Structures are given as C-alpha cells and as structure tokens.
Amino acid sequence: MQRKKMFLYGAIIVLGLIADQLSKYAVLHHVQYLERIPVIPGFFDLTLAYNPGAAFSFLADAGGWQKFFFMGLALVICIYLLRAIIRDEFGTMGKIAAALVIGGATGNVADRIVHGHVVDFLLFYYHNWFYPAFNVADSLICVGAVLLVLESIFHQKKKAV
C-alpha cells in the first residue's frame, strides 16, 4: 500500500486517540465525579462517570479481572484491524473504519492503564430515559463498526459481481 494512504490511516488513529484523551483530560480537570452540566437542558449533559466494564457497564462488577480481559481483547482486535489495513484487505471505507476503531480502542485502553477504568462523560437523556454515559473513543468505535458492517456488505456485493 502507498505510504500516503498508510499515513492517512495512521493519522486517523492518532487524531482519534488525541481527541479522545484531550476531551477526557478536560472533563477530568473541570467536572466533579457524577456532576451534571447541562449542555442542552432536558437532552444532553456533560458528566463524569467511571466504567470499569465494557459497553453499558457490562461486567463492571466482575472484581477487576475484566480490566485485563478488555485490554487484551482490544489489543487483539487492533492488531487484526491494523494487519487488515496493511494487507489492503478492506476497501477505502473499511480502512477508515478500522482506523476509527483502533483509535477509539487505544483511547479506552489508555484509560484502563492510567486510571483503571474508562472515563465517560457524554450523557443523553429524555425525561426518565437515560442512554449510558460514553466518550469520544466509544463514538469512534461505534461509527467505525457501522462502517465496517457497511463495507462488508458492499465488499460482498462487489466480489459477487
């Protein structure tokens, strides 16, 4: 693969990681734990929450082993996706998607290493309904995952033709 393209995917990874860590740094230094700062009243607040588990606090109360499990899982996924980017196994959208997932996953792994848990701060809600707090890394992972699914569907059709 061309160096320019590899630079682009590397830049996406690094910029995603930087955006995630800078946003978490700002929240950690300006918001108290569980404090809620309304951004769009009745819909969106900034808050500071800690998540020792995975998505939706899955395994949050597992006793500590989950930290290493999720770090290892993220490492395996990142290696697989990086290898797929280097081997040109995805189309352009898939490589961008993989870079987004890697950037997000490394952001959450950095949290687990530094803090022992993931720092979350984006809280969406409506009346008594709350979506679990999340962060920039989670957003990168979700967008990347959706794009990877779309890429696989598109790539499948492309191969069949």
Where do the H-state alpha helices sit in the chain?
A: 3-30, 65-86, 92-115, 136-160
> What's this model's pTM, rounded to 2 decimal places?
0.89
- Tell me how far the alpha carbon of residue 86 is from its chain's centroid: 21
Task: Give per-residue pLDDT as tens, 57-95.
Answer: 555 555 666 668 878 999 999 999 999 999 999 999 999
pLDDT tens readout for residues 12-64: 999 999 999 999 999 999 999 999 999 999 999 999 999 876 665 555 555 66
Domains of the chain by residue range = 1-160
| Catalytic (active-site) positions | 120, 138
pLDDT, residue 8, reads: 96
Q: Is there a contact between 147 and 103 (Cβ–Cβ < 8 Å)?
A: no
- Euclidean distance between the first and final Cα of the chain, in Å? 24
Residue located via tokens 């809280």 = 123
